[in-house]
Amino acid sequence: MSVRDEERLGGDPSDLELVHAGRSGDDSALGELVKRHHAAAYRVAVSLVNEDDVAQDVVQDAFIKAFRALGGFRGDASFRTWLLTITANEARGALRRSSRRKETALEDAGPVQSEAMGPAQAAVVSQEAGRARAMLERLPEKQRLSVSLRIEEGLSFKEIGEVIGSSEGAARVNYFHGIRRLRELME
């Protein structure tokens, strides 16, 4: 069963139908969009900010911004791709803020401790998968996101390009470079 099928049982409305219902004031439609896509948004956020609590804040902000701007959603991208793009932008904003905080802390208080492993990182299913997760974190940001979005979320290279702010071709190159690098790291 595919990722998308798990989240969309037979006969359910499409995302676009839910977007239209949400715009007409149907809050339950917005809730359904949250249920379908919060896991993917969370994974994108964690992949970028690498901290569980920050990632949760990022996902919440992303949904709020997406829903406030829903009147402008035209449906030429899928809702999922659009949401993940907003999530990635939010996560980058959170990273910038946290690096500014770290610089301040560095000036004030000396060296900063390395990030603690959050519960998200601890939730890996097996030793090998845990290793893969750790190695993924060592890839450059665009390679890491391209590999995750392609394999874990099933996005096309065109959709990945929208999320990482590059062309379809660049998304493809990032994916295959990321996979090759990951194989080297795992050996």
Partner 1 sequence: MNNEACGTVRELIPDFVGGRLAATDVGVVERHVPDCAECAAELALARVVLASRLAPPPQLLERLLRSVESVRTQPARTWWGISAAAIAALALGIGISSDPAAQIPVDVPGYAYEVEEGDIWLSDDGLVAGAPLFDGLSDDALLQLLDELSGGSA
Interface with partner 1 (CB under 8 A): 1-5, 23, 25, 27, 30-31, 34-35, 38-39, 42-43, 46, 52, 56, 59-60, 63-74, 76-77, 82, 85-86, 89-90, 93, 119-121, 123-126, 128-130, 132-133, 136, 147-148, 150-152, 154, 162, 176, 179, 182-183, 186
Of the pair 80, 182, the CB lying nearest partner 1 is at 182
Distance (Å, whole) CA 28 – CA 101: 38
Of the pair 68, 109, the CB lying nearest partner 1 is at 68
Of the pair 105, 156, the CB lying nearest partner 1 is at 156
Which of 4, 60, 45, 52 is CA-nearest to residue 145? Answer: 45
Distance (Å, whole) CA 108 – CA 116: 21
The least CB distance from residue 82 to partner 1, in Å, is 7
Assign 69 to helix, strand or coil.
coil
Which of 144, 134, 110 is CA-nearest to residue 186? Answer: 134
The least CB distance from residue 158 to partner 1, in Å, is 13
Of the pair 92, 105, the CB lying nearest partner 1 is at 92
The least CB distance from residue 103 to partner 1, in Å, is 21
The least CB distance from residue 107 to partner 1, in Å, is 27
Of the pair 76, 107, the CB lying nearest partner 1 is at 76
Which of 83, 76, 73 is CA-nearest to residue 35? Answer: 83
The least CB distance from residue 186 to partner 1, in Å, is 7
Which of 64, 21, 24 is CA-nearest to residue 41? Answer: 64
Q: Where are the alpha helices (DSSP H) in the chain?
A: 3-7, 15-23, 27-49, 52-68, 79-109, 119-122, 127-136, 141-151, 157-164, 168-186
* Tally of CB atoms within 10 A around 142: 20
Distance (Å, whole) CA 92 – CA 104: 18
Of the pair 105, 179, the CB lying nearest partner 1 is at 179
The least CB distance from residue 108 to partner 1, in Å, is 28
